[in-house]
Chains A and B, each alone.
Chain A
Amino acid sequence: MALVPLNYTVRSLFTRRSTTILTICSMGATVAVLAGVLALQQGFATMFVEHGRTDLVVLLRPGATSEGESAFPRDRSDILIKSSPEIALGSDGQPLASAEVYLAVRRFKVDGGETNVPIRGVQPKTFEIHGDDLQIVDGRNFQPGTDEVIVGQSLVGRIRNCQTDATIMLNTTPFKVVGVFKSKGSFRSEIWGDADRMLSALNRRSFSRLIAVLKDPSKVEAFSERLENDKQVPAKLQTEKAYLESQTLALSITFFFLGSLLAVIMGIAAVFTGTNAMLSALTARMGEIGILMSVGYRPFAIFLAFQLEAIVIGLAGGLLGCLLVLPLNGIQTGTTNFATFTEVAFAFQTTPLVLAVAIGFSIFLGLFGGGIPAIRAARMKPTEALRRV
């Protein structure tokens, strides 16, 4: 079966320029919105989920769902660390485990408004555990036992007093910022200091959580069960990866929901627009179709030609949408994770996945939008088409 020549399709697109351009712009805006939300979600996912380790575990008080609501008394944490053979040993022969204090404190943003920034009081072992995942990029690390802090890179320029040599107030105690650190994952939005000094400044008695490196990551299930049923020091154990996923679940779901809602609603609107464009193409080209048919092209060839045209328009719209959304890449944004009530800062990420989905979606739009008109075109009788000229 002979296919309608490609250059017919291409030239047809150019003949009715204004309609084609408007349709492409409309679809482009639609795809841009979807790609934008997807890029947001990707940035969020990259930030959190991908940086959880499976050989590192987080221990909370039983029943707590986040470290914010977990309390780990000092004596319990000592016992647990000493009595758990599952924990790997560091270079000094001591267990690679560390107790941390966590509190989301109110800070003022540089551009006005308030937000909650996580403060993490850590023990020296924490740095050994994270190793190269955490690096000082400005100034120096804080001295254990002193009222010094280091701030995560994401906070610099966004939160007041978060830079080297500034001073921050925690309750009634001033802390000097001595350095800035960078880290994979969410730590880069936190302020770190000495655990005991934090407890004292904040008037608290208990740690929030323990972290520990596993000797054998595959045995994590057994370890978790043992601690659940432990009478002396019960604890809730998860890998860091699982913990981070649980923290961001609600927000992830929200993004997913928002993205899907937008996709469906705007998708329908875009399909309507595409169908309209092809319908008017059909009306305008009635005579040509009649001629093509009387020359001998089969209905299916006509159908394909129209579908192809619709897909090309959709594709062009998709490409435009991608172009519009690319500048967003890397732009920082932030919101509050309502599960932990802390600020999460992340950047739009227009990953290849985003672009692929955008293009795929736009092709699908073209296909769907072009469907009805293409069927109509194929169903025309040549005499009817010619008469309408």
Chain B
Amino acid sequence: MTLKIVLRNLLAHPLRNFLTSGAVFFAVFLLSFLQAVVSTLDAGVRSASTQRLWVQSAVSLFVDLPLAYESKIATVEGVEWACKWQWFGGIYKEESNFFAQFGVDPETFRKSYPEIIVDDEHYKNFEGNRTGCLVGKDIALKYGFRVGDTVPIIGRIFPRPDGSPWEFKVEGIYESKTAVVDQGTLYFHFDYLKEAIESGDTDGEIGVGVYLAKVRDGADPGQVQSAINAMFENGPQRVNATTEAEFGRQFVSMLGNIPLLLRSIGGAVLVAIFFAVLNTMLTIGQERTRDVGIMKAIGFQDGAVFRLMIIESLVLSLSGGLVALGVAKLLEPGMRMALTQQFPGFAMSTNTLLVGLAIAAGIGVLAGLLPGMRIRNLTPLQGLRGQD
């Protein structure tokens, strides 16, 4: 009966309640979007593996390490293998189509990431084809790449003298079950790039952006880290070996205050919407004065009518909130595709949805408190007479 009363009361003022619910809808939608962005940024750090170390130049992200380092790193105690990663930095057709491309060692690449899912046959083809590449599911979807297609990438760091694009044949499409590897990257053979530089087919210098050092099971990552750093203390290029988590955090911290900004916006949105819902609930509370008087005269307890108000507030808030979460989840694939450039791996995780739900419910309960308490404290006679 309580729910019946609540629902019918809400439907009795359709426009006003729809507007309030609608305001909550927009607020929760926005908030869950912001929360998803923030959590996407953290996701990579959270799912990092302790068994993978990243070795980069201590000087700059933009300075490559010598090729000779590969064998040296492999000799460090506790290192199982070193995989080369070179940032290619090209564009697909035009400036706005930007996604990451890396030249890697195919034999050690897949071994380093058991979380990557790709057809074995396809991967074998990738390994066998010097000019082949592996593309992530998200960019395959966005640009319509299929196995067998040729992807032209215009080199910017490694341009062809005549400005023509590099051509990579798609040998496989990969999916990633971890946030550390997004599905928006193109991986090709490092050696292909190396040979092109050696033969003068492209400008640029041979170097390796980062080495991925796989830590042997049982070895202490911290010790391996220190050993690698010490090995190159005196140059020619000092290195900074970091855990995968640290590496990820590095990029997040580059965003500086953006996460704070997003959270502040979220906070302000919450405040704005809370006032809006409170406004409606106060009006509803006033309207309900006589009904409450009747119910209390009949014998309903103070607590019962208080609950009625809270439930009404909750239904009002959750009706908008739940729809917003539903829409946000529905739009997730679309948004991920649109954001592969800025926020690859954008995800509306269950956690984010739960946060959104908690917010909507929280607003509902809080907005109902003030009118609820007033209603609770009304004597039957006050209610019947319609005054406080």
Instruction: Output the residue of B236, B256, B273 with the most chain A CB within 10 A.
Output: B256
Q: Is B334 an interface residue (CB 8 A)?
A: no
Which residues of chain A are near B279, meaning CB under 8 Å? Answer: 19, 22-23, 26, 273, 276-277, 280
Known: A26-B273, A106-B60, A338-B342. Contact between A114 and B254, CB under 8 A?
A: yes
Known: A22-B275, A69-B157, A266-B272. Contact between A171 and B256, CB under 8 A?
A: no
Complex: A106 Cα to B54 Cα, angstroms: 15
Whole-angstrom distance from the CB of B161 to the nearest CB of chain A?
Answer: 10
Contact between B236 and A269, CB atoms less than 8 A apart = no
Task: Pick the contact of B16: A30, A33, A172, A279 (CB < 8 A).
Answer: A279
Contact between A279 and B15, CB atoms less than 8 A apart = yes
Which residues of chain B are near A64, meaning CB under 8 Å? Answer: 156
Complex: A43 Cα to B238 Cα, angstroms: 37
Known: A266-B272, A336-B256. Contact between A275 and B19, CB under 8 A?
A: yes
Q: Is B265 an interface residue (CB 8 A)?
A: yes
Whole-angstrom distance from the CB of A174 to the nearest CB of chain B?
Answer: 12
Contact between A335 and B63, CB atoms less than 8 A apart = no
Task: Pick the contact of B282: A18, A63, A334 (CB < 8 A).
Answer: A18
Instruction: Output the residue of A40, A64, A203 with the most chain B CB within 10 A.
Output: A203
Contact between B26 and A202, CB atoms less than 8 A apart = no
Whole-angstrom distance from the CB of B281 to the nearest CB of chain A?
Answer: 10
Contact between A334 and B257, CB atoms less than 8 A apart = yes
Beta-carbon contacts under 8 Å, B280-308 to A: 280, 282-283
Whole-angstrom distance from the CB of A63 to the nearest CB of chain B?
Answer: 5
Q: Is A256 an interface residue (CB 8 A)?
A: no
Q: Is A262 an interface residue (CB 8 A)?
A: yes
A345 to B, closest residue via Cβ: B256
A333 to B, closest residue via Cβ: B257
Complex: A29 Cα to B268 Cα, angstroms: 6
Which residues of chain B are near A363, meaning CB under 8 Å? Answer: none
Task: Pick the contact of A171: B22, B29, B59, B258 (CB < 8 A).
Answer: B59
Q: How many residues of A contact B (CB 8 A)?
A: 57
A206 to B, closest residue via Cβ: B205
Which residues of chain A are near B236, meaning CB under 8 Å? Answer: 203
Instruction: Output the residue of B20, B26, B282 with the most chain A CB within 10 A.
Output: B26
Beta-carbon contacts under 8 Å, A314-365 to B: 333-336, 338, 341, 343
Contact between B255 and A33, CB atoms less than 8 A apart = no
Contact between A106 and B276, CB atoms less than 8 A apart = no
Which residues of chain B are near A103, meaning CB under 8 Å? Answer: 59-60, 62-63
Complex: A218 Cα to B256 Cα, angstroms: 40
Complex: A269 Cα to B254 Cα, angstroms: 33
Whole-angstrom distance from the CB of A183 to the nearest CB of chain B?
Answer: 21
Contact between B265 and A33, CB atoms less than 8 A apart = yes
Q: Is B27 an interface residue (CB 8 A)?
A: yes
Known: A33-B269, A104-B60, A268-B26. Contact between A113 and B253, CB under 8 A?
A: yes
Whole-angstrom distance from the CB of B220 to the nearest CB of chain A?
Answer: 24
Contact between B235 and A334, CB atoms less than 8 A apart = no
Q: Is A220 an interface residue (CB 8 A)?
A: no
Complex: A36 Cα to B279 Cα, angstroms: 25
B270 to A, closest residue via Cβ: A29
Q: Is A65 an interface residue (CB 8 A)?
A: yes
Contact between B240 and A25, CB atoms less than 8 A apart = no
Contact between A343 and B256, CB atoms less than 8 A apart = yes
Q: Is A57 an interface residue (CB 8 A)?
A: no
Q: Is B348 an interface residue (CB 8 A)?
A: no
Contact with B along A52-77 (1 / 0, CB 8 A): 00000000000111001101000000
Whole-angstrom distance from the CB of B88 to the nearest CB of chain A?
Answer: 11
Contact with A along B342-354 (1 / 0, CB 8 A): 1000000000000
Beta-carbon contacts under 8 Å, A141-186 to B: 170-172
Cross-chain pair count, CB within 8 angstroms: 165
Which residues of chain B are near A262, meaning CB under 8 Å? Answer: 30, 265
Contact between A114 and B250, CB atoms less than 8 A apart = yes
Instruction: Output the residue of B89, B235, B250, B254 with the most chain A CB within 10 A.
Output: B254
Q: How many residues of B contact A (CB 8 A)?
A: 53
Beta-carbon contacts under 8 Å, B215-273 to A: 234-238, 240, 249-250, 253-258, 261, 264-265, 268-269, 271-273
B22 to A, closest residue via Cβ: A272
Which residues of chain B are near A68, meaning CB under 8 Å? Answer: 62
Contact with B along A69-113 (1 / 0, CB 8 A): 101000000000000000000000000000000011110010011
Contact between A115 and B60, CB atoms less than 8 A apart = no
Instruction: Output the residue of B159, B236, B283 with the most chain A CB within 10 A.
Output: B283
Task: Pick the contact of B256: A27, A266, A334 (CB < 8 A).
Answer: A334
Which residues of chain A are near B238, meaning CB under 8 Å? Answer: 171-172
Contact between A273 and B23, CB atoms less than 8 A apart = yes
Known: A22-B275, A30-B272, A171-B237. Contact between A114 and B26, CB under 8 A?
A: no
Q: Is A378 an interface residue (CB 8 A)?
A: no
Q: Is B163 an interface residue (CB 8 A)?
A: yes
Complex: A104 Cα to B57 Cα, angstroms: 12
Contact between A280 and B30, CB atoms less than 8 A apart = no
Known: A19-B282, A63-B159, A266-B269. Contact between A25 and B275, CB under 8 A?
A: yes
Contact between A202 and B22, CB atoms less than 8 A apart = no
Which residues of chain A are near B23, meaning CB under 8 Å? Answer: 268-270, 272-273, 276
Contact between A115 and B256, CB atoms less than 8 A apart = yes
Q: Is B278 an interface residue (CB 8 A)?
A: yes
Which residues of chain B are near A265, meaning CB under 8 Å? Answer: 26, 29-30
Whole-angstrom distance from the CB of B23 to the nearest CB of chain A?
Answer: 4
Task: Pick the contact of A63: B22, B27, B156 (CB < 8 A).
Answer: B156
Complex: A22 Cα to B283 Cα, angstroms: 12
Known: A106-B240, A262-B265. Contact between A115 and B254, CB under 8 A?
A: yes
Complex: A276 Cα to B236 Cα, angstroms: 69
Complex: A184 Cα to B148 Cα, angstroms: 52
Contact between B59 and A202, CB atoms less than 8 A apart = yes
Which residues of chain A are near B283, meaning CB under 8 Å? Answer: 19, 280
Task: Pick the contact of B276: A269, A336, A338 (CB < 8 A).
Answer: A269
Contact between B254 and A343, CB atoms less than 8 A apart = yes
Task: Pick the contact of B268: A32, A112, A203 (CB < 8 A).
Answer: A32
Whole-angstrom distance from the CB of A265 to the nearest CB of chain B?
Answer: 5
The 9 closest A-B pairs by CB, nearest first: A113-B253, A29-B272, A26-B275, A336-B254, A273-B276, A335-B256, A272-B19, A272-B23, A269-B26
Identify 7 residue pairs between A and B in the complex whose beta-carbon atoms are under 8 Å apart, listed by A's number.
A19-B282, A172-B234, A262-B265, A269-B23, A334-B256, A335-B257, A335-B258
Binding site for A on B (CB under 8 A): 15-16, 19-20, 22-23, 26-27, 29-30, 58-63, 89, 95, 156-157, 159, 163, 203, 234-238, 240, 249-250, 253-258, 261, 264-265, 268-269, 271-273, 275-276, 278-280, 282-283, 342
Inter-chain pairs besides A26-B272, A171-B58, A269-B273, 7 sampled, C-beta below 8 Å: A29-B271, A69-B157, A115-B253, A272-B276, A273-B19, A276-B16, A343-B254
